[in-house]
Chains A and B, each alone.
Chain A
Amino acid sequence: MTSFQSSLGDEEGIAEELAESQREISIAEFFEKNKHMLGFDSGARGLVTAVKEAVDNALDATEEAGILPDVYVEITEVGDYYRLVIEDNGPGITKEQLPKVFGKLLYGSRFHKREQNRGQQGIGISAAVLYSQLTSGQPAKITSRPKGQSEAQYFELIIDTDTNEPEISVDETTSWDRPHGTRIELEMEANMRARSQLHDYVKHTAVVNPHARIELREPGLDEPWKFERATDELPAETEEIRPHPHGVELGALIKMLEATESYSISGFLQEEFTRVGKKTADNVIDAFRDQHYGRELAWSPPSSRSTVTGATNDDVAAAIEAAVANKGAAATSAFAEGVVEALAERDRLSRSELEGIVGTVADAVEEDTGRTFGSTVRGNATEAAWRVIAGVDDGDADPANADSTDPADASADGDSPIAADLYALVDEATSTRKDDAAIRAMAEALAFRVANLDGEAYRIARDDLERLVADAATFVADQHDATFGETARENVVEAVWSRARTVPDAPPKVRTVAGDRDVAADLLEAMRETDILAPPTDCLAPITAELVEAGLRKEYDADFYAAATRDAEVHGGDPFIVEAGIAYGGEIPADGSVELLRFANRVPLVYQRGACATTDVIRTIGWRNYGLDQPGGSGMPNGPAVISIHVASTNVPFTSESKDAIANVPAIEDEIELAVREAARELKSYLNKRRSMQQRREKRDVLGRILPEMADKVSEVTGRPRPDIDGALARIMNNVSVEREREDGTVRLVVENHSDVNEQLEITDIVSAEPTDVSAGTVVDMDGEWFVQWTPEVASGDERELTYSVDGDADFEISVGGVETEKLTVNE
């Protein structure tokens, strides 16, 4: 029974803190210090929190076992203390599971569990146990009866505050009338000052868990407060998913690295994260290498250089030939030519790439000539060719910088191929407004600094490159009075960096990364900057719009209900779904602002309403558009309405550890707004319809009074009998009128639709004698009464005649359905 997970440990912050601190201080001390974060800062709140934890766990336990929850909560006064009893009809709990459930307070599961569950909200039942133990000195009394067992088991459990281990002090068999389930009894110092929050919590829990039956007894209630089940449908089971690379933090990543069985980073990524396959892992690793090793700057080989002066391919070939000894002229020259040929195909290359080319050509020449090109020869050849390409054969001499006082003379093309390459890049990266001298100076200053990099491979991390460019810019500004602003510098960095090559070095192994925080940070950065598919959303179990509505319907006697469930979205690495519901009218109090119910993963949030993203969103919506009163056009709307908002996620972001308010995350706020607006649109159309019905009723009332008076008056004036005005009345009120006319043995029901929409009516005439010749209807004989039924569709402005014959003085009783009573006029 894993549902009694102690979720305290799931939270990185607290888990780490707890792990650190437990070695030095006792858990009692720690708890005392942190109880405000844990929701136990006062006796009033402590009781609510304990109920909340226990009920959340009870619901999770039953749901996981596929049982419709039946939760019983009882609070009684016992002397100076309060006794809290929570019973559920879950699968029960065994002795072996007890330490797991109550002992995990300090350790928790190592990683955040990527699953939507209630516990994620909570501090854990174990905190409640500890609170009770610390304030009352009483052990937690647990009764459990696993399914199918004839006897129940009774435990008393305390947490040893020195060792932080749970200890079972009593373990005996007992009898219990529930066939299966768990009963937890806690005694604690508390008070009922937070009664309204407690009631809210329980009521809102019932709203959001329409499949649960909940009963609450507390000293302030004369009768137990019962919340019945509104559906037999359990919430969909949720899949646990692995974390998404975009949703982890450094601490969690390090722990995962420490715990994984993978050896390589690629394996680790594919094994431990969702949405990471070979290709994505490779992308992450490339980014990781760039982060960790930096890139190698790439230069143009002589063949592709635009300037005619400087080294040529012949120089490269000559350098290679000079570097190769004792391989025979033919092989040597074939080798040199092969390299030069390969170079000719390249725009630019890094030293590692050159090394690769040399290796490939050497292999080919070895095969052709039978000569062996060993690693020393290959190394020498690479070295020699690179010196020509990068122009470093003059050692550390620095012509560019020394002579740069006169940029016109200090042309980059002669002695530094690097400067020439950089000149092209800087020129391309900066706006046309920069004059040529400034660009040349920048390229040279940069070339000088690049040349001073350690090693000949010009390997540099991006942030170092940024520093280097900034430094060069400062130098150019000082010496040449030419400014390279931030944008220009960024463009230069981007131009150089995008031409640089990811190094071929193998990424560090998992063990190395795990042991070095900086390297792990590089990996995390690489994960974040790589595009990765959003996480799957089947790990979420929304309540569904239908049940959101059912929950409201169950607890609020309103005239109108609407609900909406959005599609899943992703924030960070965590998928989330927002649902909203609205109840309006009926018994909901009309004065004051609307009631807002906030839920995260099916758990009501009862504190810190003002700090919650849901509240902020409700305030920004213009409710007047939706027919609710909103003083000043913003803020909480007024009126007889209840708005409920549910955010389900594998990781609901809260404003604080006490988890009372959802943080203002734009992606989540957007979805909240869309969900609420979706439900509000239905409210609007309902209110509009109601308003038009109201007007119709008013009109009906007024005209129903005036027209007969007018008819009386005109009959008085004209001296004629009072005219029949029913037809006129029906027409005036955009009505649907059903009128009976009887002539001899024929009954005609005339249906006139004066409304502006088509109407589908259900007309039943109950006749005391057998009807015949019924037009297009059905007749059912019910014990001497005949039900004549029609379901005519009458178009707007149209009329239909329904006829039948009946003998003698039959009695009739007509009933008309399918049309609002306000619109209907029946004249018999």
Chain B
Amino acid sequence: MTTNTDARDQLIDLAADFYDQFAAGEIPEMELPTRTKSNIEYDEESGVWTYGDRTSVRSANSVNGARKLLKAAYTIEFLAEQLDEDRSSTLRELYYLSESWDNDEAQFSSQDESNDLVEDLEIVTGATREDFHMRPEESGAKVMGPLRLREQTNRGDRDIHCQLDVGQGGYQIPNNPDTIEFLENDAEFVLCVETGGMRDRLVENGFDEAYDALIVHLGGQPARATRRLTKRFHDELDLPVVVFTDGDPWSYRIYGSVAYGSIKSAHLSKYLATPEARFIGIQPADIVEYDLPSDPLSDSDVNALESELEDPRFQTDYWEEQIELQLEVGKKSEQQSLASRGLDFVTETYLPERLEEMGVA
């Protein structure tokens, strides 16, 4: 974990780079990996997907480039001060805060611009957003399961058991899960669940207790904190991770970002991705096998599936087989379609069968 001072120094180093470029009569610039699908590569060593060798240069030799670098300089100053004072702020706050800067040219014109700039700074400095004490707007998701942990809050350390000390909603993952220390656990595996409805069903049915599962709610495309915590569960507690989503192409990408990392944050894949995470369902094969209620694939679904066949992250035998099967049957099903077999079907039949198949539990 990077300390405040480390992150601050890395930011100041970047400013110093600009300074040195100026002093040498050169045009300030920073080099970044090209952030496109075609420029992510599989890293054999870590088993995650990271940016490839192609880079693009953000240079002050154009009006736009100069504005970007000016904003970077202002943002560096802001972040350095924030770290000095050990405070934090959200990405959205950064966007609004820029309005207070004395320079109109340095103000962000949209939040996308400020978000992108923070990602640029992460990539160039090698630190993470969390190191800069920048929080995303959306709160992290929730965990329910047999685990006791200690969280550093700014009201002091709190020891929390993720079944006994929490309500029906579970333990709220903080923005920087690296502030968590794992104390003890009885967990057998981690089950990441896409939808809130399914998570609630599993908790209501006592699945976490019955199977000693750490149920992590992903809540759509998972926040970084959720992915980071999942990775820590795997790496530090040595727990197998399975991902449970809807059976459609968009949900496979949710699995992909947990397991392989996302294109936008590929620079953090080693920190966020859990390559060992496995997909539990809903598999296209399940739609057929369990004769689940389904919807026909729309054109955009088909395009998304075909695009996934091209995506280097999905070029495995397993995924090619599943995706081709789905294209063949032309159907998709939601997690909650399992309820067509009764409310207990998922906890008593589907998941146990799948876990056994996968050799997890």
Contact = CB atoms under 8 A, between A and B. Distances in A.
A717 interface: yes
User: Top 10 A-B pairs ranked by shortest CB distance?
Assistant: A727-B25, A713-B73, A723-B22, A717-B15, A723-B23, A710-B70, A714-B19, A714-B15, A706-B66, A714-B18
A703 interface: yes
A513 B322 CA distance: 100
Of residues A706, A710, A724, A728, which shows the largest number of chain B Cβ atoms within 10 Å of its Cβ? Answer: A710
A732 B22 contact: no
Nearest to A698: B63
Contacts of B69: 710
Kindly state the interface size class of chain B when it binds its partner. Answer: 20 to 34
A710 B63 contact: no
Kindly state the interface size class of chain A when it binds its partner. Answer: 20 to 34
Contact of A717 (B22, B24, B25, B77): B77
Of residues A714, A724, A726, A731, which shows the largest number of chain B Cβ atoms within 10 Å of its Cβ? Answer: A714
A169 interface: no
A711 interface: yes
A23 interface: no
Contacts of B24: 727
Interface string B71-107: 0011011001000000000000000000000010110
Contacts of B60: 703, 706-707, 710, 728, 732
Contacts of B80: 717
A186 B92 CA distance: 86
A221 interface: no
B76 A717 contact: yes
A433 interface: no
A712 to B, nearest CB: 9
Given A714-B19, A717-B12, A732-B66, 7 more contacts: A702-B63, A706-B60, A706-B66, A709-B103, A717-B15, A723-B19, A723-B22
B62 interface: yes
A705 to B, nearest CB: 7
Contact of A728 (B12, B28, B76, B103): B28
A432 interface: no
A728 B27 CA distance: 5
A718 B77 contact: no
A36 interface: no
A720 interface: yes
Contacts of B63: 698-699, 702-703, 706
A703 B74 contact: no
Contacts of A716: 77
Interface string B1-27: 000000000001001101101111111
A64 B27 CA distance: 67
Contact of B26 (A698, A703, A706, A728): A728
A2 B76 CA distance: 88
B67 interface: yes
A775 interface: no
Nearest to A719: B12
Interface of A: 698-699, 702-703, 705-707, 709-711, 713-718, 720, 723-728, 731-732
Of residues B25, B61, B62, which shows the largest number of chain A Cβ atoms within 10 Å of its Cβ? Answer: B25
A711 B25 CA distance: 12
9 contacts: A702-B105, A706-B60, A713-B15, A714-B19, A715-B19, A718-B15, A720-B19, A723-B23, A732-B27
A711 B70 CA distance: 9
Contact of A709 (B23, B27, B61, B105): B105
A714 B77 CA distance: 8
Interface string B256-267: 000000000000
Contacts of B12: 717-718
Of residues B24, B28, B62, which shows the largest number of chain A Cβ atoms within 10 Å of its Cβ? Answer: B28
Contacts of B61: 731-732
Contacts of A714: 15-16, 18-19, 22, 73
Contacts of B106: 709
Contact of A710 (B16, B23, B26, B28): B28
A724 to B, nearest CB: 7
Contacts of B67: 706
Contact of B66 (A702, A718, A720, A731): A702
A705 B105 contact: yes
A637 to B, nearest CB: 30
A724 B103 contact: no
Contact of B16 (A711, A718, A724): A718
Interface in B1-60: 12, 15-16, 18-19, 21-28, 60
B62 A699 contact: yes
Interface string B181-203: 00000000000000000000000
Contact of B77 (A713, A720, A727): A713
Contact of B22 (A702, A705, A706, A711): A711
B9 to A, nearest CB: 11
A170 to B, nearest CB: 79
A9 B27 CA distance: 77
B300 to A, nearest CB: 38
B18 to A, nearest CB: 5
A715 B23 CA distance: 11
B23 A718 contact: no
A706 B16 contact: no
Contacts of B16: 714, 718, 720
Contacts of B26: 727-728, 731
Of residues A713, A725, A726, which shows the largest number of chain B Cβ atoms within 10 Å of its Cβ? Answer: A713
Contacts of A698: 63
A7 B348 CA distance: 114
A710 B29 CA distance: 12
A703 B22 contact: no
A588 B167 CA distance: 80
Contacts of A732: 27, 60-61, 66
Contacts of A720: 16, 19
B160 to A, nearest CB: 39
Nearest to A711: B22
A285 B291 CA distance: 102
B352 to A, nearest CB: 57
Of residues B70, B80, B106, which shows the largest number of chain A Cβ atoms within 10 Å of its Cβ? Answer: B70
A355 B16 CA distance: 112
A717 B73 contact: yes
Of residues A699, A707, A717, A726, which shows the largest number of chain B Cβ atoms within 10 Å of its Cβ? Answer: A717
Contacts of B74: 713
A724 B70 CA distance: 16
Contacts of B15: 713-714, 717-718
B82 to A, nearest CB: 13
A699 B6 CA distance: 37
B73 A724 contact: no
A716 B19 CA distance: 10
B242 to A, nearest CB: 46
A727 B74 CA distance: 23
A348 B26 CA distance: 92
B22 A718 contact: no
Contacts of B66: 702-703, 706-707, 710, 732
B105 A728 contact: no
Contacts of B19: 711, 714-715, 718, 720, 723
Contacts of A710: 18, 28, 60, 66, 69-70, 73
Interface in B262-309: none
Contacts of B18: 710, 714
A726 B66 CA distance: 15
Of residues B15, B24, B69, which shows the largest number of chain A Cβ atoms within 10 Å of its Cβ? Answer: B15
Nearest to B24: A727
Nearest to A700: B63
Contacts of B27: 728, 731-732
Given A698-B63, A702-B66, A724 B22 contact: yes
Contacts of B62: 699
Of residues B63, B76, B103, which shows the largest number of chain A Cβ atoms within 10 Å of its Cβ? Answer: B63
Contacts of A703: 60, 63, 66
